[in-house]
Structure 1
Amino acid sequence: MSIKLFVANFPLHITEIELLEVFSQHALVSDLTIVKDGSKSRGYGFVILQNQIAADRVIEALNGRSIGDRKLSVRIAENKSTFLKTG
């Protein structure tokens, strides 16, 4: 089962290829997306990994790691439905 990670607080100038290089050092990345406003990065995105073991390894290695002058925040992405109110 694939696991989606939420990645935030990386430098706005970093490209998807550069971010992929960082994550690929720790696990096989199935997909990676930087969220953008037009063509400008918003400083966060999503990384999809193959399984929970890979996700745990990446979180351990990269959460809090400095890239440029920023410290990455890496965690399991929350399901959007968690935020929706029912009833």
Structure 2
Amino acid sequence: MDIHISNFSASFKEGDLKELFSDFGTIKSVSIIRDRFTGESKCFGFVSMPNEEEALEAINRLNNQQIGYRKLEVSKAQPRTNYRLL
């Protein structure tokens, strides 16, 4: 299951997300979305967990969790839509 995480600090790294979610089970992949021109974090990303039960537990436990001065927003990722920018 793919999990969408947002509202974390720009200083958060992939390793920080992996560490946060690894308490709940196996992590397949972690990615932080970055601006294509500056390389800076857009303060959201995705974690993929192969076990749906573990993923749902992580979502339930980490959503609204206070990290620093921010509350994480954690939810099941929506399917990606294909679109073109004109």
Task: Indicate whether the TM-score tops 0.5.
Answer: yes
Distance in 2 of aligned mates of 1:55 and 1:19: 13
Amino acid at match of 2:6: A
> Identity of paired residues, percent?
31
| Alignment root-mean-square deviation, CA | 1.5
**Runs of 4+ with >4 A deviation:** none
Distance in 2 of aligned mates of 1:42 and 1:71: 16
Which of residues 10, 22, 25 in structure 2 aligns to 1:24?
A: 22
Q: Which residue of 1 aligns with 2:13?
A: 15
Q: Any unmatched runs of 5+ in structure 2?
A: none
In the alignment, is residue 73 of structure 1 matched against residue 76 of structure 2? no
Kept in 1, the 8 Å contact 2:24–2:55? The answer is no
Q: How many residues align?
A: 81
Distance in 2 of aligned mates of 1:80 and 1:26: 25
| Structure with the larger helix share | 1
Q: Any unmatched runs of 5+ in structure 1?
A: none
Distance in 1 of aligned mates of 2:63 and 2:43: 15
Kept in 1, the 8 Å contact 2:26–2:51? The answer is no
Kept in 2, the 8 Å contact 1:26–1:61? The answer is no
| Structure with the larger strand share | 1
Q: Deviations over 1:32-80 (max 9, x none)?
A: 0000113211100000001210111101110010111111111111012
TM-score, normalized by length of structure 1?
0.85
